[in-house]
Structure 1
Amino acid sequence: MTGQLKVETGFVSLPEGACGPFLRVPPFPGCKVDSFLTAPAIDRADADDLVDVIRRMRVGGTYWAARPALPDRYVLLRSTGADLDDGSSKVVWTSRPVAAPRGSVMVTGDCDPWHMLAGATALFAETPDEVTLIATILGVPVHLKDPFSNAFEETTLDVASSLATVLGNTGFVNPFTGDPMSARETIELCGFWRALIDSNRDISGALGFAFWKRDNVAPLLWGGSPVRFADDADGSAGPVAIWRSKASEDVVAKLERSGTKLIEVEDGFLRSQGLGADCVPPLSITVDRLGAYFDPAQPSELESLLQDGLFTDELLERAQALRFAIVGAGLGKYEVGGAPLDRPAGSKCHILVPGQVEDDRSVLTGGCGLASNLELLKRVREQAPDAYILYKPHPDVVAGHRKGSISDKDCLEFADQVVMDQPISSLIEMVDEVHVNTSLAGFEALMRNKPVITHGVPFYAGWGLTRDLGPVPARRSAKRTLDELVAAALLQYPRYLDPLSGLPCPAEVVVRRLVDGIEGQDGVVVTMRRLQGKVMRRLREMVG
C-alpha cells in the first residue's frame, strides 16, 4: 500500500497505487491472457454509474479465490492492531498467519473478498485498499487506522472517486478480439466468469474424462482450485462431474449407492471441426445437475430452461444474430458447410435421414425403442413412399470408431442415395424435410427453417417446432419460438472455451473461431486415432 489518504469533501478516496488492477482475469487452467491491457481511463461520472453493476456482479479483487467457512455475523479484521473487546465474533484475514484475538477465526491467503465481507458487520483495516472499497460498495462500515494516533476511526470511502482511480489505472481491452472494451462491458465479462466459477465451487472431482479432453474441459469446470480428474471414486466430499459413457459402471454404481450427486457432462452443440471419436477436444460442453439433456425419462436443466425460462428481448436478439451467423457460415456440430447442392430428383420431395451411433446414450434413452439406423430408414420410407430419401451415416460411424454401420445393399432397400462426403448443413439446405431419431441434425435443420419430424424424443421435440412421432413427456407443455430454443440451447445452457485465449467465452466467440478455422487440438493424437478408425473400418468391411 502506498500514498497518503486523500480527503475530498469529508470522504476518503483510494490513493494512487493503493491496489493492483481492480478488475482482473481469473487464472483459469491453461489461460493465455493474464490481464486486461491499458486503455483510456474513465471519468467520475462513469464511475457513479458502475457502482450498482459491480455490486450486482460481485466482481473486483480476487473474486475467484477461496471461500472459507465463516460465522453468520462477525467483525472482519484486516489488522491485528484493532483491540475490540465487545463480545462480537471476529474473523482475522491476513496474508500470513499472525497472533489473533482469542476465539477469532483465522484466515490467510487469497480469498474472495465479496464472500469475506458478506456477513461482516464492520471492517477494520490499516489503510484503504480494494477490500475497503468493496466493503463500502456493500455498505459495510469501514474503520481505518489513523497514522498519527494509531486509533481506528470509522471512515466513509468516496466510492465513485476510488473506482475512477482503480478502473482508470487498469483500462480494458477485449481478450477475445483485442478491441477496446468499456468498463461496463469488462465488469459484465468478469461477472460472466464469476457465475461460471461459483457454479463449479462444490465440484469435488471429475470422472470419465479422456486425457485428451481434460485441458479443454478443466477451465469450464474450474471453481477456483484445480479440477481433480480421476478414474475412481475415492471418497469424494461433494458432487462429482461425470462423463457417464466413459466412466466405469462399477464406479458410477458406487457413487450412486453413496448418495453422491452426479453432474452430467456432455459435448455441447457447437463442438469442433472434428470428431470426438477422433480425439478432437470439444470447445463446448454441457453441465447438467438434473440429468442428461437427451434423456426424456427425467427433467434436465435444458428442459427446465425451455419449459420455465424467461427470454429477454436482448437475449432473443443475440439468439437471432447467432443463428444467422451459424446458418450463414454453414456450421454444424463437427464441420463447416460447403457450396449449395443440386437436387438429384428435381421437384420430388427430398428427405434427409441422418444416421446416429446406435449405442450412443441419446439413442438408447431417447430413441424410444428405435435402436437401429436401418429401422429408422424403414419407418421413413413407410411414411413417405414416393419421396427421394438421402441417408447420411454418422461421421463417427464412417470413421470406423462407433456402432451403426449399414451396408449399401441394406440401406438402398429404403433410401435412394447414401451420402458420405457432403456437409450435413448443405444437405439440410437442399432437402424439403429432415427425419431424425434423436440426432442434433434436427436442431440444425430447425435453425434453417426446415420441417423436422422426430421419431424419437430429442431435446428440441415437444415445443411446437417439430412434428413429433415419439412419446414426448407431458411436462413439456410450453410453446417456444425458434429463437427461444436457440437462446436456451446455444446461449444459456452450454459452456464454451476460446481456443486462442484459453478463457471461457460466450458462444459468439467460438462461432467466430470455427468459421475462421481456429481450434486447439493435439495433431499427433488426432492423426493416430484417425488411422485407427481406418483400420477398424477396413476390418469391418472384410468380415462382412
Structure 2
Amino acid sequence: MPAFSVEQLSAKSRLLTLSPVLAKLPYLSQFLQGAAVHRTGRLHVRSVSADAVLVWGKKPSAVKGERYAVRHKLPIMRLEDGFLRSLGLGLHSPPYSVVLDDEGIYYDASGPSRLERLIQQPLSKTQAKRASALMHAWQQGRVSKYNHNRDLLKLPAVPFVLVVDQTYGDASIRFGLADAERFWQMLDAALRQYPNHPIVLKVHPDVLTGKKRGHFDALEQRLSATDRARVQLLAEDAHPASLLQAATAVFCVTSQMGFEALLWQKPVYTFGMPFYAGWGLTVDAMPAPKRRCAISLQQLIHAALIDYPRYLDPETSQACEVETLLDWLALQRAQRERFPRSLQALRMPRWKKPVLRQFLQGSQLSFIAQAAERDANQPLVVWGVKSSQQLAAPLLHVEDGFIRSVGLGADLIRPASWVLDDEGIYYDATRPSALETMLREQDFSAGLQARAQQLIAILLQSKVTKYNQGQSCWQRPDGQLRVILIPGQVESDASIQLGSPVLKTNLALIEAVRAANPDAWLVYKPHPDVQAGLRVAGSAEQQAGMVCNEVVLAEDMAHLLTQVDEVHTLTSLTGFEALLRQRKVVCYGQPFYAGWGLTEDKYPPARRGRQRSLAELVAAALILYPCYLSHRTDAYATPELVIAQMQQQRQQRGDAAPWWRVLLRKLISLNKF
C-alpha cells in the first residue's frame, strides 16, 4: 500500500497537479471527497504542502507530475475516466464517473494497480448478488461507457463474430502489452475458430474517412479472397449495445468493448492484456501476469463497477452509487431512442422552439413555416391535432403532459412534461393514440405496477396536479351528503371538439349534471386559463352560478378534490386526478381515462373496454407515455424527480402572479408570442 492511499482521502487532504486541464475538471472536488486540488507550474519548487500529486492516467501530460513527485518524494494518484463515463464525449459532456488509483492504473498490465487488487477480493453473498443484478441492469439499460450514439440502423445478419479494431497509437495497446501485429493475429484467429460465421470488423468511423488510422489498412493484401469475402467492415458511429447483444463472440486486443461483452455474457477472446483478461473469464492469446488468478465474473463486475470507480449523480452533482448513474443514463438512452433521428417541426411559436429541442434532444430538429417546405423523408412535428388534419403521415403530435408545471401553460410557463405521440393524441377520441394502444394491448409488469402505486402515493402526499397553483381554503358545506365538482374547460379546445361527441359546452355539462343529481351540492370551477384572462370563457358560462350551488375561483385543485365526493366532467384532466384520490368520476365525454372500467361513462368509447386497474392506468399515463425534463439539468427525468422539483418550486413562489407575469399575459393576449 502507498504511503498516502485512496482510503485516506478526505476534505482535509491536499493534492497537487501540474495539469491546468486536470485542475479545471468539472466536479473534481466532489470526486475527491472534498479534497483541495492546487495547481503549480513550477517543477523544481515545492509551492504548497501536499499529500500527493494528481496526474491523468499515463498520458504524456502526466510525465511532469511524475517528475515532480519523485523530486519532492510525494506519492502519485492517477485519475482516469470510469467504465460508465457519461452521456456524451469530451468537454461538452463531463465525466460522471472516474477512477482513482494509488498503485498504478488499470490499463497498464506491466505493473499492479488498485483495480487488480480489488478484483481478487472475495465477495459476500450480498455483494455477489448485487454484482449479478448490476450485470442485468447494464443489459436492460443498454448502457455503455459513452451513451450519446443511437443504436445501429441495421444489425448485421446473425450469426456473426465481432472483431474490434482500435485507433493506431491508442495508449491502452502499448500498456496492454500488445502491438499492431496482434490485431492481424486476432482477425486470423476469428476466421479460423469460427469458419462458418461472417466476421464483422468494427472500425472507428474516422478510419474510413481518413482522419485516423486503424490496424487493418491492408485487408486486400493480407487476406485471401475467400477470407476477405467473409469480413464485413462496420464503421457506423453507433451505440454498441445491440451489436454486443447479437454477436456470437467478441474478439479484441485491449478495447473496453471486451469488458462490456462479458457484461453481455458473451465469449471474449483477447490479444493483449486488458484489465479484464488473465482471470479465467476470457480466452487469452497472451500469458497472464503472475499477479492474476482465477476469479468469478461477479468479482470482476463488483471491482470494476462498484469498488474501483467514483460516481456522481448528474441531478445533484453529489456522490452516488453506480446504480443511480446507470438508471439515469439508461433513461436518457431510452428516451432518445423513442424518436426519429431527424424531424421537422411545423409552425411552432417562438417560445416553444427551444423547449421542443430539449424534449427531442437526441434528434436533429429543424423548423419550417409552411407544409410545402416539408422534407417527405422526415417525420413532421405538430402541436396537437388541429394543424395536422390535412397532413400526411408520418406525424409526431405534441401536447402538454399530465404533470406539466407550477403555473399555467398559457402563461408560457416552461413545461416539465410533454407527450409526443406518433399515432394520434390522447384527447382525440375519434382515433387511437399511443396511450390508448398501450392501455388496450400492453401488459405491465408487477414491478412497473408497484412503481405506479408508489407514484400515486407521492402525488397525493405532495398534492401535485397539472398546474399546481391556487389556495387551499375551501371547505365542503356542513350537512351536504353529496358534493359534486364540475371542472370547467376551454370550450374551443380540441379536447372537447374531439373528445366529447355529444355535449360541447360547460353549461350543457352543468345542466346535465343537475338534471341527473337534483339534490346534490354542485361546485363549479372555471378553467384556470379562463380565470386568468388567457383564454375566452365559454358561451353562457357566466350562467353557471344559476345552476350550480357554488362557483369557486382560486382554489388549488388538489385541495378541492379532498373536499368533494364526485367529479363530473366532459374530458378534463381533473377526472384523472380524482381517480388518483379514489373519487367517483362520471364522464360525459371520452377522455383518455374513460372506458377502462374505472369511470362511469355516459357515452362509452367503442374501441376501449379492457378492464384496467388504477395502477395500470397510471403506469401508462404518467410513466410510459410522457417525456419529462429536469428543471435543474434539462435532461430527461422521471416523474418522481419532476414532482420533487415542483414541490420545491411551489414553496419558492407565492400564489399571486408577479407584475411581469401580468404584463406578459397582456402581450400573449395580443399574440406577441
State the TM-score bracket (shorter-chain normalisation): 0.7 to 0.9
CA distance in 1, matches of 2:561, 2:669: 27
Aligned residue in 2 for 1:532? 667
1:204 counterpart SS class: strand
Q: Percent identity?
A: 30
Aligned residue in 2 for 1:189? 328
1:164-196 deviation per Cα after TM superposition (whole angstroms, max 9, x unaligned): 235544323433356654333433332222222
**How far 1:336 sits from its partner (Å)?**
4.3
CA distance in 2, matches of 1:518, 1:33: 31
More displaced, 493-502 or 97-106? 97-106
Aligned residue in 2 for 1:382? 515
CA contact (8 A) 1:121 1:141 kept: no
Aligned residue in 2 for 1:267? 400
1:295-336 deviation per Cα after TM superposition (whole angstroms, max 9, x unaligned): 223232322333344344433333233222222332221114
Q: 1:329 to 1:75 in 2, by over 3 A?
A: closer
Aligned residue in 1 for 2:107? none
Q: 1:288 to 1:519 in 2, by over 3 A?
A: farther
Aligned residue in 1 for 2:238? 111
Aligned residue in 2 for 1:65? 149
1:211 counterpart SS class: coil
Q: 1:17 to 1:360 in 2, by over 3 A?
A: farther
Counterparts in 2 of 1:362-401, with a 5 A limit? 362-401=495-534
For structure 2, the 5+ residue unaligned runs are 1-55, 59-76, 102-114, 169-179, 208-212, 221-227, 275-282, 289-293
Candidates 87, 91, 99, aligned match of 2:201: 91
Root mean square deviation, CA, Å = 4.0
State the TM-score, normalized to the length of structure 1. 0.80
CA distance in 1, matches of 2:609, 2:598: 12
Q: 1:107 to 1:314 in 2, by over 3 A?
A: closer
Q: 1:208 to 1:450 in 2, by over 3 A?
A: farther
CA contact (8 A) 2:452 2:616 kept: yes
**Is residue 499 of structure 1 aligned with residue 499 of structure 2?**
no
One-letter code aligned to 1:21: G
CA contact (8 A) 1:94 1:108 kept: yes
**Is residue 234 of structure 1 aligned with residue 378 of structure 2?**
no
Q: Which has the higher contact order (CA 8 A, sep 6+)?
A: 1
Candidates 76, 83, 99, aligned match of 1:22: 83
Candidates 309, 320, 329, aligned match of 1:170: 309
CA distance in 1, matches of 2:139, 2:343: 29
Q: 1:401 to 1:51 in 2, by over 3 A?
A: same
1:9-49 deviation per Cα after TM superposition (whole angstroms, max 9, x unaligned): xxxxxxx9897322233249xx9975258899987644742
1:319-356 deviation per Cα after TM superposition (whole angstroms, max 9, x unaligned): 23322222233222111464352224642532211111
One-letter code aligned to 1:54: W
Aligned residue pairs, count? 508
State the TM-score, normalized to the length of structure 2. 0.66
More displaced, 390-399 or 203-212? 203-212
CA contact (8 A) 2:421 2:434 kept: yes
CA contact (8 A) 1:315 1:487 kept: yes
CA contact (8 A) 1:122 1:143 kept: no
One-letter code aligned to 2:366: R
**Is residue 243 of structure 1 aligned with residue 400 of structure 2?**
no
Q: 1:24 to 1:429 in 2, by over 3 A?
A: same
Aligned residue in 1 for 2:165? 78
1:117-174 deviation per Cα after TM superposition (whole angstroms, max 9, x unaligned): 455566554x423222123334154342589xxxx97579985565423554432343
Aligned residue in 2 for 1:464? 597
CA distance in 2, matches of 1:239, 1:145: 46
CA contact (8 A) 2:254 2:270 kept: no
Aligned residue in 2 for 1:204? 343
Q: 1:525 to 1:70 in 2, by over 3 A?
A: farther
1:393-435 deviation per Cα after TM superposition (whole angstroms, max 9, x unaligned): 1112223333443557522232232222112222222222211
One-letter code aligned to 1:530: R
Aligned residue in 1 for 2:641? 509
CA distance in 2, matches of 1:70, 1:480: 37
One-letter code aligned to 2:453: Q
CA contact (8 A) 2:305 2:322 kept: no
1:191-219 deviation per Cα after TM superposition (whole angstroms, max 9, x unaligned): 22222222224453344543323444434
1:478 counterpart SS class: coil
CA contact (8 A) 2:147 2:329 kept: no
Q: 1:95 to 1:235 in 2, by over 3 A?
A: closer
CA distance in 1, matches of 2:100, 2:482: 57
CA distance in 2, matches of 1:204, 1:519: 38
Q: 1:36 to 1:419 in 2, by over 3 A?
A: farther
Aligned residue in 1 for 2:447? 314
CA distance in 2, matches of 1:201, 1:454: 35
CA contact (8 A) 2:462 2:643 kept: no
**How far 1:392 sits from its partner (Å)?**
1.2
CA distance in 1, matches of 2:93, 2:206: 29
Aligned residue in 2 for 1:429? 562
**Is residue 135 of structure 1 aligned with residue 261 of structure 2?**
yes
Aligned residue in 2 for 1:487? 619
CA contact (8 A) 2:85 2:98 kept: no
CA contact (8 A) 1:216 1:281 kept: yes
CA contact (8 A) 2:96 2:313 kept: no
One-letter code aligned to 2:374: D
More displaced, 152-161 or 61-70? 152-161
**How far 1:457 sits from its partner (Å)?**
0.7
Q: 1:480 to 1:166 in 2, by over 3 A?
A: closer
